[in-house]
Homo-oligomer: A and B are copies of this chain.
Amino acid sequence: MSKEKFTMVGKVERRVDGYDLVTGKVKFTGDLKFSGMLYGYARRANVAAGRIKKIDCSGALAIPGVVTILFANDIPGPNIIGILPPFDQPLLASEEIRYEGESIALIVAKTKAVAKSAAAKIIIEIEPWDPILNVDEALKEGARKIHPQGNIIFSKKLIKGDVEKGFEEAEVVVENTYNTGFQEHAYLEPEAVCAVPMGNGRITVYASCQSPFHLRTHISANLNVPASQVKVIHAHTGGSFGGKDDVAAEIGSLASIAAVKLGKPVMIAHDREESIIGSNLRHASRIHYKTGAKKDGTIVAREIDILLDGGAYASESPFVVMKALIHAAGPYNIPHVFVKSTAVYTNKTYCGAMRGFGVPQVTFASESQIDELAAALKMDSLELRYKNGLRPGDATATGQVFNQSVGLIETINRIKEKRKHPHLKGKLNDSRWLYGTGFSCMLQGISNGAEGIDVVGASVQMSQDGSVLIGVGLTEMGQGSHTVFAQIAAEVLGITIDKITVKQLDTDSVHDSGATVASRSTTVGGMAVFKAAQEVKKSLVKMASLMFKVNEEQIIFKENFAILKNDDSARIPLKEVATAAYWTGFPLMNLAFSKAPEANYDHETHQGNIYIAYNFGTHMMDIRVDRFTGRVEVLRHIASHDVGKVINPLGVEGQVEGGSLMGFGLAHMEKIIYQEGHIINANLADYAVPTVKDRIPTETILVEDYNPTGPFGAKGVGEPPVAGTAAVFANAVADATRIRFRSLPITREDILKRITAIKK
């Protein structure tokens, strides 16, 4: 497969959904209108911790237009959301309040404005408790238990080799603690669902979400009906980045309960404040790193302790704990590694999945320390990375050995090339600007791997006119996967991309394929499309061989024609083959499954085979810092990633640019500010997410190291650039300012304070 010439794979394609999106034609959930539709709005807790004593909603119910108010005891099912044990989160809180913003009641009214004003009229008496606001308080001996099982959500260890022995061998040791803050997903479209009772015992839920199957599970459980009666349609979704999972299950369940109770469609569409305070954030972290090396730069040991602030509920903290654990040692060949990773409950908005899943936090810390080690060794930091970087045949931190598709060194080489042509040439520090260059290396596991089973279903259906409809059990949330799937099917079937439609996922039409996470759409999802398309192709080949009266081997498909291999002029339009195949009874639809090889590892030490592949990356960033304002100007950012075979270069660039900007936001701009458990900047005026004006000049370099576990050799790329950019920014700032910032974000304000401090 690796040496074939491709026609559709590797071709620059505009997003198949691009035109309708940029021209504003696409309908998002909030645009939907159904006859008799009602609107739901949650009344939330206004303290971070306490116990509900009394609720009086008589005033709220008296407001004209209010239809009903739902409380915990109106939920037919178990009142639980959360896809993982310990299943600790109520849909509606009825006793204890664990974070400010927790939903207590759902007001359903004829308009959202009415629901909102009714929400304010509900009188809720809460006995307030002292909130636990950081991990130290939470872990303190005798601390109040936020949940009955205590304040530790999940904790895991990774043990490779003998880290004590490793440090004994070390000649240079560096050790430090790094911090990162909370980050909001800040998608363009806040969360929204619309539940429509179908009148035939079923309910259809349109949802802006990441994982319609999770919604189905939660909705059916909380409605107490069989899952087969619930259909979740993945509405066009304006971004998710891991954020629209638990919260979508929450509002999907609430809207469904209200819709079934009232027999009417119910919409819940969050505004920005609800989106920030009422759903998960990226975990803040405190990470201690100790790295030991020989004088020649050979890293021999790393010992890492990761503490993640998980907020009030577990959500996907266990996955984030594991992912941070597995990636903490970085893309290096290190014989002795010990990592401990722990998530802790606090009385803050719960944390969960977000693009990168713990990897950006540890990569920032790890790569900062690599720079610090290089300084201690007086080595060039990029050379230090090159020296220790994983090569084919090396063992990762979990002891997994890849003999193929380990392109790290090539990504470093490509950066070295760029470094030879310094962008900052002639731009020396002057009275105003401080110039600097940073480097970072990273890896990010592709596929669910250790986090669970990884099966994706996909269907490919060709109509008699030769057009093709693709359905995949994963969601398109803006990442461009529909275009990738179309290119894969087009390549297999020898058709042009205009013949292909990729439909929105709904839970009726394909096997439960789990969540669209872990940069697995192109690999595991793409492989399912590949398999399904191959089956359809078999029917077409059979039919064409009957029509041409030749052996099947003599037939190829290209440019929407069946063509004889040895006579390019012998052509039958594929639509004629499709029509004939249909009338001959050869199936033109297939539902295929792709299953990633299962993770296989020791649960005590996390040693074993974790992922089907890794994306490897090396970043370089040239910046200048304004001595007078702390402003950072990114002059050049080069992101070199080994993504396996590229399906759509434009799509990969988009992912690298978008992920990089999100990493830049994490590293430099975005800061959730808590005051006593209350987020004071729950809006996009005060929470500074990068806008188009903050766009950094990312240049993407793609290394295509063939991955045998992906379709046509592809790997994923959705998450990796976040980590690479967050890390490289910190190192560039350190290089420019000669100050090591060990906490993200490194805001303009932070920089200015430290520069000014030095000046004094």
Contacts and interface: CB of A to CB of B under 8 A. Distances in A.
A146 interface: no
Interface string A536-580: 000000000000000000000000000000000000000000000
6 contacts: A202-B501, A202-B503, A231-B503, A459-B509, A459-B591, A511-B587
Given A228-B500, A508-B509, A455 B587 contact: yes
Interface string A453-480: 1110101010111011101000000000
A512 B582 contact: yes
B200 A236 contact: yes
A269 to B, nearest CB: 15
Contacts of A582: 453, 512
Nearest to A453: B585
A673 B760 CA distance: 106
A226 B467 contact: yes
Interface stretch (A27-35, A51-59, A112-120): A27-35
A501 B587 contact: no
The oligomer's copy count stands at: 2
A227 B463 contact: yes
Interface in A490-545: 498-501, 503-504, 508-512
A590 interface: yes
Closest 10 CB pairs of A and B: A226-B467, A33-B35, A227-B463, A591-B591, A511-B589, A228-B501, A228-B467, A228-B469, A509-B509, A27-B199
Nearest to A588: B511
A342 interface: no
Contacts of A740: none
B228 A588 contact: no
B508 A227 contact: no
Given A226-B465, A228-B463, A461-B508, 9 more contacts: A20-B199, A25-B200, A27-B199, A35-B35, A227-B463, A227-B464, A228-B467, A457-B589, A585-B598
Interface in A6-28: 17, 19-20, 25-27
Interface of A: 17, 19-20, 25-27, 31, 33-36, 198-202, 216-217, 220-221, 226-229, 231, 236, 452-455, 457, 459, 461, 463-465, 467-469, 471, 498-501, 503-504, 508-512, 582-585, 587-591, 593, 595, 598
Contacts of A584: 453
A634 to B, nearest CB: 35
Contact of A25 (B31, B199, B454, B455): B199
Nearest to A37: B35
Contacts of A465: 217, 220-221, 226-227
A498 to B, nearest CB: 8
Contacts of A228: 461, 463, 467-469, 499-501
Contact of A454 (B19, B500, B510, B585): B585
Given A228-B469, A464-B227, A453 B588 contact: no
A585 B503 CA distance: 24
B199 A26 contact: yes
Contacts of A33: 34-36
A20 B227 CA distance: 18
A595 B585 contact: yes
A420 B477 CA distance: 73
Contacts of A217: 463-465
B199 A512 contact: no
Contact of A471 (B35, B500, B508, B511): B508
Nearest to A236: B200
A578 to B, nearest CB: 10
For A25, A198, A469, A498, which residue has the most chain B Cβ atoms within 10 angstroms? A469
A503 B201 CA distance: 10
A220 to B, nearest CB: 7
Nearest to A36: B33
B598 A593 contact: no
Contacts of A583: 452-453
Given A453-B584, A591-B590, A201 B501 contact: yes
Contacts of A499: 226, 228
Contact of A20 (B17, B201, B469): B201
A512 B34 contact: no
A357 to B, nearest CB: 20
Contacts of A20: 199-201
Contact of A512 (B31, B464, B504, B509): B464
Nearest to A454: B585
A222 B723 CA distance: 51
